[in-house]
Structure 1
Amino acid sequence: MEDIHGFFRTGTVRGVGNWSETHVSSSSSGGGGYIHNGSGHISAPTVSVSSTTTEVMRFFMEYADDEEEEVTIKGGGFAAREGQRVTVVRIGSRPDWGYNVAYHNHNTGSTFAPDHRLEWPLYKRPSRKMMLFAPIIGAVVSLIIMVELWWLFVVGAFGWAFYAYSRKNGEYQRLKAAVRQRVDELLVDAKAQHGRMKTELKGEAA
Protein backbone atom coordinates (compact mmCIF):
# COMPACT_ATOMS: atom_id res chain seq x y z
CA MET A 1 0.00 0.00 0.00
CA GLU A 2 1.22 3.47 -0.85
CA ASP A 3 2.21 5.98 1.81
CA ILE A 4 -0.67 8.14 3.00
CA HIS A 5 0.26 11.66 4.03
CA GLY A 6 -2.18 13.96 5.73
CA PHE A 7 -2.32 17.22 7.62
CA PHE A 8 -4.85 19.82 8.70
CA ARG A 9 -5.10 23.58 9.03
CA THR A 10 -7.48 25.49 11.26
CA GLY A 11 -8.48 29.05 10.57
CA THR A 12 -11.20 31.66 10.81
CA VAL A 13 -13.87 31.86 8.12
CA ARG A 14 -14.09 35.11 6.15
CA GLY A 15 -16.19 36.27 3.21
CA VAL A 16 -18.72 33.45 2.88
CA GLY A 17 -20.58 33.17 -0.42
CA ASN A 18 -23.29 30.70 -1.44
CA TRP A 19 -24.88 30.22 -4.85
CA SER A 20 -26.16 27.58 -7.27
CA GLU A 21 -24.73 26.53 -10.62
CA THR A 22 -27.10 25.11 -13.23
CA HIS A 23 -25.89 22.99 -16.12
CA VAL A 24 -28.30 22.45 -19.00
CA SER A 25 -27.84 19.67 -21.57
CA SER A 26 -29.95 18.65 -24.54
CA SER A 27 -30.11 15.72 -26.93
CA SER A 28 -32.16 14.90 -30.01
CA SER A 29 -33.21 11.65 -31.65
CA GLY A 30 -35.25 10.61 -34.64
CA GLY A 31 -36.46 12.97 -37.31
CA GLY A 32 -36.12 12.85 -41.07
CA GLY A 33 -38.34 11.38 -43.78
CA TYR A 34 -38.63 11.53 -47.55
CA ILE A 35 -40.33 13.42 -50.37
CA HIS A 36 -40.87 11.91 -53.82
CA ASN A 37 -42.79 13.49 -56.67
CA GLY A 38 -44.32 16.00 -54.32
CA SER A 39 -45.49 13.49 -51.75
CA GLY A 40 -43.98 11.93 -48.64
CA HIS A 41 -43.53 12.87 -45.02
CA ILE A 42 -41.02 14.60 -42.79
CA SER A 43 -40.96 14.10 -39.02
CA ALA A 44 -39.35 16.47 -36.57
CA PRO A 45 -36.68 15.12 -34.20
CA THR A 46 -37.49 14.55 -30.55
CA VAL A 47 -35.54 16.93 -28.35
CA SER A 48 -35.02 16.30 -24.63
CA VAL A 49 -33.59 18.88 -22.26
CA SER A 50 -32.29 18.18 -18.74
CA SER A 51 -30.65 20.32 -16.11
CA THR A 52 -28.66 19.72 -12.94
CA THR A 53 -28.17 22.22 -10.14
CA THR A 54 -25.13 22.20 -7.85
CA GLU A 55 -24.83 24.15 -4.61
CA VAL A 56 -21.54 26.02 -4.26
CA MET A 57 -20.00 27.47 -1.11
CA ARG A 58 -16.89 29.62 -1.16
CA PHE A 59 -15.06 31.31 1.69
CA PHE A 60 -11.60 32.37 2.79
CA MET A 61 -9.64 30.77 5.61
CA GLU A 62 -7.67 33.27 7.68
CA TYR A 63 -4.78 31.65 9.53
CA ALA A 64 -2.75 32.80 12.54
CA ASP A 65 0.24 33.72 10.37
CA ASP A 66 -1.91 36.26 8.44
CA GLU A 67 -2.05 33.88 5.47
CA GLU A 68 -5.36 33.48 3.66
CA GLU A 69 -6.64 30.67 1.50
CA GLU A 70 -9.72 30.28 -0.69
CA VAL A 71 -11.89 27.21 -0.12
CA THR A 72 -14.64 26.07 -2.50
CA ILE A 73 -17.07 23.26 -1.67
CA LYS A 74 -19.49 21.97 -4.31
CA GLY A 75 -22.51 19.80 -3.70
CA GLY A 76 -23.61 21.09 -0.31
CA GLY A 77 -23.24 19.28 2.99
CA PHE A 78 -21.26 21.88 4.94
CA ALA A 79 -22.21 25.20 6.53
CA ALA A 80 -20.15 27.98 8.09
CA ARG A 81 -20.53 31.69 8.66
CA GLU A 82 -18.29 34.67 9.19
CA GLY A 83 -15.93 34.35 12.15
CA GLN A 84 -16.37 30.65 12.84
CA ARG A 85 -13.37 28.37 13.31
CA VAL A 86 -13.02 25.64 10.68
CA THR A 87 -10.48 22.87 10.11
CA VAL A 88 -9.63 21.64 6.62
CA VAL A 89 -8.12 18.14 6.37
CA ARG A 90 -5.95 17.23 3.40
CA ILE A 91 -4.76 13.83 2.19
CA GLY A 92 -2.10 13.19 -0.44
CA SER A 93 0.65 10.89 -1.64
CA ARG A 94 3.48 13.17 -0.51
CA PRO A 95 4.14 15.36 2.56
CA ASP A 96 2.62 18.85 2.84
CA TRP A 97 0.39 18.37 -0.20
CA GLY A 98 -3.02 16.93 -0.73
CA TYR A 99 -6.69 17.25 -1.60
CA ASN A 100 -9.25 18.82 0.72
CA VAL A 101 -11.22 15.78 1.87
CA ALA A 102 -12.84 16.83 5.16
CA TYR A 103 -14.09 19.94 6.93
CA HIS A 104 -14.97 20.48 10.59
CA ASN A 105 -16.78 23.48 12.06
CA HIS A 106 -15.60 23.84 15.65
CA ASN A 107 -18.39 26.27 16.55
CA THR A 108 -21.24 24.02 15.44
CA GLY A 109 -19.46 20.69 15.93
CA SER A 110 -20.43 19.51 12.44
CA THR A 111 -18.07 17.49 10.24
CA PHE A 112 -18.29 17.07 6.47
CA ALA A 113 -16.20 14.10 5.31
CA PRO A 114 -18.18 11.93 2.86
CA ASP A 115 -16.57 9.09 0.92
CA HIS A 116 -16.79 10.91 -2.40
CA ARG A 117 -14.47 13.59 -1.02
CA LEU A 118 -11.64 11.04 -0.82
CA GLU A 119 -10.52 12.11 -4.29
CA TRP A 120 -6.96 10.86 -4.17
CA PRO A 121 -7.68 7.12 -3.69
CA LEU A 122 -10.70 7.29 -5.97
CA TYR A 123 -8.36 7.91 -8.90
CA LYS A 124 -7.16 4.36 -8.34
CA ARG A 125 -10.59 2.77 -8.68
CA PRO A 126 -10.20 -0.41 -10.78
CA SER A 127 -11.82 -0.45 -14.20
CA ARG A 128 -14.31 -3.12 -15.26
CA LYS A 129 -13.23 -2.74 -18.89
CA MET A 130 -10.71 -5.57 -18.51
CA MET A 131 -13.59 -7.97 -17.76
CA LEU A 132 -15.16 -6.99 -21.09
CA PHE A 133 -12.12 -6.93 -23.34
CA ALA A 134 -10.25 -9.96 -21.97
CA PRO A 135 -12.80 -12.55 -23.25
CA ILE A 136 -12.88 -10.80 -26.64
CA ILE A 137 -9.10 -10.91 -26.90
CA GLY A 138 -9.15 -14.55 -25.77
CA ALA A 139 -11.66 -15.43 -28.50
CA VAL A 140 -9.57 -13.73 -31.18
CA VAL A 141 -6.39 -15.48 -30.04
CA SER A 142 -8.14 -18.85 -29.94
CA LEU A 143 -9.41 -18.44 -33.50
CA ILE A 144 -5.87 -17.81 -34.64
CA ILE A 145 -4.23 -20.63 -32.68
CA MET A 146 -6.75 -23.41 -31.98
CA VAL A 147 -10.28 -23.01 -33.32
CA GLU A 148 -11.56 -26.12 -31.53
CA LEU A 149 -10.69 -24.79 -28.08
CA TRP A 150 -11.99 -21.22 -28.51
CA TRP A 151 -14.32 -21.55 -25.54
CA LEU A 152 -11.44 -22.58 -23.27
CA PHE A 153 -9.52 -19.43 -24.15
CA VAL A 154 -12.59 -17.28 -23.53
CA VAL A 155 -13.29 -18.85 -20.13
CA GLY A 156 -9.64 -18.58 -19.14
CA ALA A 157 -9.43 -14.94 -20.21
CA PHE A 158 -12.60 -14.07 -18.31
CA GLY A 159 -11.35 -15.89 -15.20
CA TRP A 160 -8.04 -14.02 -15.32
CA ALA A 161 -9.83 -10.68 -15.80
CA PHE A 162 -12.17 -11.37 -12.87
CA TYR A 163 -9.24 -12.32 -10.63
CA ALA A 164 -7.26 -9.22 -11.63
CA TYR A 165 -10.27 -6.96 -11.06
CA SER A 166 -11.05 -8.53 -7.66
CA ARG A 167 -7.46 -8.13 -6.54
CA LYS A 168 -7.30 -4.51 -7.71
CA ASN A 169 -10.64 -3.74 -6.11
CA GLY A 170 -9.47 -5.26 -2.83
CA GLU A 171 -6.38 -3.04 -2.87
CA TYR A 172 -8.57 -0.04 -3.60
CA GLN A 173 -10.92 -0.79 -0.71
CA ARG A 174 -8.01 -1.22 1.71
CA LEU A 175 -6.50 2.05 0.52
CA LYS A 176 -9.81 3.84 0.92
CA ALA A 177 -10.24 2.45 4.44
CA ALA A 178 -6.72 3.56 5.36
CA VAL A 179 -7.41 7.06 4.05
CA ARG A 180 -10.66 7.20 6.02
CA GLN A 181 -8.82 6.13 9.17
CA ARG A 182 -6.16 8.79 8.62
CA VAL A 183 -8.84 11.45 8.13
CA ASP A 184 -10.54 10.43 11.38
CA GLU A 185 -7.21 10.60 13.24
CA LEU A 186 -6.50 14.09 11.92
CA LEU A 187 -9.97 15.27 12.91
CA VAL A 188 -9.38 14.02 16.45
CA ASP A 189 -6.07 15.92 16.57
CA ALA A 190 -7.71 19.08 15.21
CA LYS A 191 -10.49 18.97 17.80
CA ALA A 192 -7.98 18.42 20.59
CA GLN A 193 -5.85 21.33 19.37
CA HIS A 194 -8.90 23.59 19.22
CA GLY A 195 -9.87 22.54 22.76
CA ARG A 196 -6.41 23.39 24.09
CA MET A 197 -6.52 26.78 22.38
CA LYS A 198 -9.89 27.59 23.96
CA THR A 199 -8.57 26.58 27.39
CA GLU A 200 -5.52 28.81 26.97
CA LEU A 201 -7.65 31.77 25.89
CA LYS A 202 -9.93 31.32 28.91
CA GLY A 203 -6.87 31.20 31.16
CA GLU A 204 -5.51 34.42 29.69
CA ALA A 205 -8.89 36.13 30.06
CA ALA A 206 -9.09 35.13 33.72
Structure 2
Amino acid sequence: MSNNEQPIRRAEDIHGFFRTGIVRGVGNWSETHVRSSTSGGGGYVHNGMGHISAPRVSVSSTTTEVTRFFMEYGEDDEEEVTIKGGGFAAREGQRVTVVRIGSRPGWGYDVAYHNHNTGKTYAPDGWLVWPLGKSPSAALVLIAPIVGAIAGALLLPSLWWFLGLAGFGWAFYAWRQKAGEYRTLKEAVRQRIGEVLADAKAEHGRVRAGREGEAA
Protein backbone atom coordinates (compact mmCIF):
# COMPACT_ATOMS: atom_id res chain seq x y z
CA MET A 1 0.00 0.00 0.00
CA SER A 2 1.32 3.44 -0.88
CA ASN A 3 2.55 5.54 2.02
CA ASN A 4 0.26 8.31 0.81
CA GLU A 5 -2.86 6.17 1.11
CA GLN A 6 -4.60 5.17 4.31
CA PRO A 7 -6.11 1.70 4.61
CA ILE A 8 -9.85 1.35 5.01
CA ARG A 9 -10.67 1.03 8.71
CA ARG A 10 -14.45 1.50 8.71
CA ALA A 11 -17.25 0.49 6.36
CA GLU A 12 -18.08 4.19 6.00
CA ASP A 13 -14.64 4.74 4.47
CA ILE A 14 -15.16 2.32 1.57
CA HIS A 15 -15.23 4.18 -1.74
CA GLY A 16 -15.63 2.42 -5.07
CA PHE A 17 -15.98 3.32 -8.71
CA PHE A 18 -15.52 1.73 -12.13
CA ARG A 19 -14.09 2.53 -15.54
CA THR A 20 -15.13 0.76 -18.72
CA GLY A 21 -12.95 0.69 -21.79
CA ILE A 22 -12.08 -1.17 -24.97
CA VAL A 23 -9.36 -3.83 -24.88
CA ARG A 24 -6.36 -3.25 -27.13
CA GLY A 25 -3.10 -5.10 -27.74
CA VAL A 26 -3.67 -8.34 -25.83
CA GLY A 27 -0.63 -10.43 -24.99
CA ASN A 28 -0.43 -13.76 -23.13
CA TRP A 29 2.65 -15.66 -21.99
CA SER A 30 4.02 -17.85 -19.21
CA GLU A 31 6.73 -16.95 -16.70
CA THR A 32 8.76 -19.78 -15.17
CA HIS A 33 10.61 -19.27 -11.89
CA VAL A 34 13.25 -21.82 -10.92
CA ARG A 35 14.29 -22.29 -7.29
CA SER A 36 17.09 -24.41 -5.93
CA SER A 37 18.10 -25.39 -2.40
CA THR A 38 21.09 -27.25 -1.00
CA SER A 39 21.13 -29.53 2.02
CA GLY A 40 23.49 -31.99 3.59
CA GLY A 41 27.02 -32.50 2.43
CA GLY A 42 30.30 -32.42 4.37
CA GLY A 43 32.22 -35.07 6.25
CA TYR A 44 35.65 -35.47 7.80
CA VAL A 45 39.14 -36.70 6.97
CA HIS A 46 41.68 -37.67 9.59
CA ASN A 47 45.04 -39.26 8.82
CA GLY A 48 43.82 -40.12 5.39
CA MET A 49 40.68 -41.80 6.72
CA GLY A 50 37.09 -40.56 6.73
CA HIS A 51 34.35 -39.74 4.30
CA ILE A 52 32.99 -36.79 2.38
CA SER A 53 29.42 -36.64 1.09
CA ALA A 54 28.22 -34.35 -1.64
CA PRO A 55 25.42 -31.89 -0.84
CA ARG A 56 21.93 -32.66 -2.13
CA VAL A 57 20.54 -30.10 -4.52
CA SER A 58 16.77 -29.79 -4.99
CA VAL A 59 15.37 -27.86 -7.91
CA SER A 60 11.74 -26.82 -8.31
CA SER A 61 9.92 -24.54 -10.72
CA THR A 62 6.61 -22.71 -10.85
CA THR A 63 4.86 -21.39 -13.93
CA THR A 64 2.65 -18.30 -13.85
CA GLU A 65 0.28 -17.27 -16.62
CA VAL A 66 0.45 -13.57 -17.49
CA THR A 67 -2.09 -11.51 -19.43
CA ARG A 68 -1.36 -7.95 -20.51
CA PHE A 69 -3.47 -5.52 -22.48
CA PHE A 70 -4.39 -1.86 -22.73
CA MET A 71 -7.68 -0.35 -21.63
CA GLU A 72 -8.71 2.39 -24.05
CA TYR A 73 -11.16 4.78 -22.39
CA GLY A 74 -11.16 7.47 -25.02
CA GLU A 75 -8.89 9.62 -27.12
CA ASP A 76 -5.50 9.94 -25.40
CA ASP A 77 -6.80 8.08 -22.36
CA GLU A 78 -5.56 4.54 -21.87
CA GLU A 79 -3.70 2.45 -19.33
CA GLU A 80 -1.74 -0.79 -19.26
CA VAL A 81 -3.16 -3.78 -17.38
CA THR A 82 -1.07 -6.77 -16.28
CA ILE A 83 -2.77 -9.73 -14.58
CA LYS A 84 -0.75 -12.66 -13.27
CA GLY A 85 -2.08 -16.06 -12.35
CA GLY A 86 -4.62 -16.54 -15.12
CA GLY A 87 -8.34 -16.47 -14.52
CA PHE A 88 -9.24 -13.58 -16.80
CA ALA A 89 -9.49 -13.60 -20.58
CA ALA A 90 -10.12 -10.79 -23.05
CA ARG A 91 -9.48 -10.19 -26.71
CA GLU A 92 -9.14 -7.22 -29.00
CA GLY A 93 -12.17 -4.94 -29.11
CA GLN A 94 -14.07 -6.34 -26.14
CA ARG A 95 -15.55 -4.04 -23.48
CA VAL A 96 -14.05 -4.54 -20.02
CA THR A 97 -14.76 -2.83 -16.70
CA VAL A 98 -12.24 -2.42 -13.92
CA VAL A 99 -13.57 -1.91 -10.37
CA ARG A 100 -11.49 0.11 -7.93
CA ILE A 101 -11.85 0.31 -4.15
CA GLY A 102 -10.07 2.76 -1.87
CA SER A 103 -10.27 4.88 1.27
CA ARG A 104 -11.11 8.09 -0.59
CA PRO A 105 -13.32 9.03 -3.57
CA GLY A 106 -11.86 8.83 -7.06
CA TRP A 107 -8.94 6.59 -6.17
CA GLY A 108 -8.56 2.92 -5.45
CA TYR A 109 -6.90 -0.45 -6.00
CA ASP A 110 -7.95 -2.71 -8.87
CA VAL A 111 -10.02 -5.44 -7.20
CA ALA A 112 -12.14 -6.84 -10.06
CA TYR A 113 -12.36 -7.03 -13.85
CA HIS A 114 -15.52 -7.81 -15.79
CA ASN A 115 -15.68 -8.73 -19.47
CA HIS A 116 -19.07 -7.54 -20.75
CA ASN A 117 -18.80 -9.59 -23.94
CA THR A 118 -18.26 -12.90 -22.15
CA GLY A 119 -20.06 -12.04 -18.93
CA LYS A 120 -17.10 -13.28 -16.86
CA THR A 121 -15.92 -11.49 -13.70
CA TYR A 122 -12.44 -11.90 -12.26
CA ALA A 123 -12.20 -10.88 -8.58
CA PRO A 124 -9.67 -12.99 -6.65
CA ASP A 125 -10.28 -13.11 -2.92
CA GLY A 126 -6.71 -12.01 -2.31
CA TRP A 127 -7.34 -8.70 -4.05
CA LEU A 128 -9.96 -7.78 -1.46
CA VAL A 129 -7.32 -7.17 1.20
CA TRP A 130 -5.30 -4.63 -0.81
CA PRO A 131 -7.36 -1.62 0.36
CA LEU A 132 -7.50 -2.95 3.94
CA GLY A 133 -3.86 -3.31 4.87
CA LYS A 134 -2.53 -6.22 6.91
CA SER A 135 -4.81 -8.66 8.67
CA PRO A 136 -4.55 -8.92 12.49
CA SER A 137 -1.54 -10.96 13.59
CA ALA A 138 -1.91 -13.85 16.02
CA ALA A 139 1.64 -13.35 17.32
CA LEU A 140 0.32 -11.62 20.46
CA VAL A 141 -1.58 -14.79 21.35
CA LEU A 142 1.77 -16.61 21.64
CA ILE A 143 3.76 -13.80 23.25
CA ALA A 144 1.29 -12.72 25.95
CA PRO A 145 1.28 -15.98 27.99
CA ILE A 146 5.08 -16.10 27.91
CA VAL A 147 5.31 -12.53 29.20
CA GLY A 148 2.66 -13.27 31.82
CA ALA A 149 4.47 -16.40 33.00
CA ILE A 150 7.82 -14.58 33.25
CA ALA A 151 6.23 -11.71 35.17
CA GLY A 152 4.53 -14.19 37.47
CA ALA A 153 7.77 -16.07 38.10
CA LEU A 154 9.46 -12.81 39.12
CA LEU A 155 6.66 -11.21 41.12
CA LEU A 156 4.35 -14.03 42.23
CA PRO A 157 6.20 -17.34 41.83
CA SER A 158 3.26 -19.36 43.12
CA LEU A 159 0.90 -17.89 40.51
CA TRP A 160 3.11 -17.83 37.42
CA TRP A 161 0.89 -20.37 35.68
CA PHE A 162 -2.24 -18.31 36.44
CA LEU A 163 -0.75 -15.11 35.01
CA GLY A 164 0.41 -17.01 31.91
CA LEU A 165 -3.06 -18.44 31.37
CA ALA A 166 -4.67 -15.04 31.97
CA GLY A 167 -2.31 -13.46 29.42
CA PHE A 168 -3.26 -16.08 26.87
CA GLY A 169 -6.98 -15.55 27.49
CA TRP A 170 -6.71 -11.78 27.14
CA ALA A 171 -4.58 -11.98 23.97
CA PHE A 172 -6.84 -14.57 22.38
CA TYR A 173 -9.95 -12.49 23.09
CA ALA A 174 -8.33 -9.33 21.66
CA TRP A 175 -7.20 -11.19 18.55
CA ARG A 176 -10.65 -12.71 18.02
CA GLN A 177 -12.20 -9.24 18.24
CA LYS A 178 -9.79 -7.74 15.71
CA ALA A 179 -10.08 -10.72 13.36
CA GLY A 180 -13.87 -10.50 13.48
CA GLU A 181 -13.80 -6.79 12.67
CA TYR A 182 -11.42 -7.48 9.78
CA ARG A 183 -13.69 -10.20 8.35
CA THR A 184 -16.68 -7.87 8.61
CA LEU A 185 -14.81 -5.10 6.82
CA LYS A 186 -13.63 -7.53 4.14
CA GLU A 187 -17.22 -8.62 3.53
CA ALA A 188 -18.27 -4.96 3.27
CA VAL A 189 -15.61 -4.47 0.57
CA ARG A 190 -16.95 -7.53 -1.27
CA GLN A 191 -20.47 -6.11 -1.10
CA ARG A 192 -19.31 -2.73 -2.42
CA ILE A 193 -17.60 -4.46 -5.35
CA GLY A 194 -20.90 -6.14 -6.18
CA GLU A 195 -22.73 -2.81 -6.11
CA VAL A 196 -20.18 -1.13 -8.38
CA LEU A 197 -20.26 -4.08 -10.79
CA ALA A 198 -24.06 -3.85 -10.93
CA ASP A 199 -23.78 -0.17 -11.87
CA ALA A 200 -21.21 -0.99 -14.56
CA LYS A 201 -23.40 -3.72 -16.06
CA ALA A 202 -26.41 -1.40 -16.07
CA GLU A 203 -24.43 1.28 -17.87
CA HIS A 204 -23.18 -1.25 -20.41
CA GLY A 205 -26.79 -2.31 -21.05
CA ARG A 206 -27.82 1.29 -21.68
CA VAL A 207 -24.89 1.82 -24.06
CA ARG A 208 -25.68 -1.38 -25.98
CA ALA A 209 -29.38 -0.50 -26.19
CA GLY A 210 -28.52 2.92 -27.53
CA ARG A 211 -26.26 1.49 -30.21
CA GLU A 212 -28.87 -1.05 -31.24
CA GLY A 213 -31.44 1.75 -31.46
CA GLU A 214 -29.16 3.79 -33.71
CA ALA A 215 -28.49 0.77 -35.91
CA ALA A 216 -32.25 0.16 -36.30
Shared fold per TM-score greater than 0.5: yes
Q: Does 1:120 align with 2:144?
A: no
Deviation at 1:121, TM superposition (A): 4.7
Aligned equivalents of 1:123 and 1:58: distance in 2?
A: 26
- My pick for the range that moved more, 161-170 or 116-125, is 116-125
Aligned equivalents of 2:75 and 2:209: distance in 1?
A: 20
- My pick for the range that moved more, 26-35 or 115-124, is 115-124
Percent identity of the aligned residues? 71
Partner of 1:136: 146
Partner of 2:62: 52
Q: 1:95 aligns with which of 105, 109, 119?
A: 105
- My pick for the range that moved more, 20-29 or 175-184, is 20-29
Q: 1:201 aligns with which of 183, 187, 211?
A: 211
Task: Figure out how many residues of one structure are paired with residues of the other and give that number.
Answer: 206
Give structure 2 stretches of 5+ with no counterpart.
1-9
Aligned equivalents of 1:164 and 1:88: distance in 2?
A: 36
Paired AA for residue 96 in structure 1: G
Paired AA for residue 26 in structure 1: S
CA RMSD of superposed structures (Å) = 1.3
4+ long deviations beyond 2 Å: 119-124
TM norm structure 2 = 0.91
Partner of 2:29: 19
1:99/1:119 contact within 8 Å kept? no
Tell me, what secondary structure is at the counterpart of 1:80? coil
Tell me, what secondary structure is at the counterpart of 1:63? strand
2:144/2:167 contact within 8 Å kept? yes
Q: Does 1:171 align with 2:200?
A: no
Partner of 2:93: 83
What does the per-residue CA deviation read over 1:170-199, in whole Å, with 9 as the maximum and x for residues that have no partner? 011101100000000011000000000111
Tell me, what secondary structure is at the counterpart of 2:74? coil
Paired AA for residue 48 in structure 1: S
Paired AA for residue 159 in structure 2: L
Paired AA for residue 127 in structure 2: R
Tell me, what secondary structure is at the counterpart of 1:126? coil
Deviation at 1:160, TM superposition (A): 1.0
Partner of 1:72: 82
Aligned equivalents of 1:175 and 1:139: distance in 2?
A: 34
1:121/1:172 contact within 8 Å kept? no
Deviation at 1:25, TM superposition (A): 1.3
Give structure 1 stretches of 5+ with no counterpart.
none
Q: 1:148 aligns with which of 148, 158, 162?
A: 158
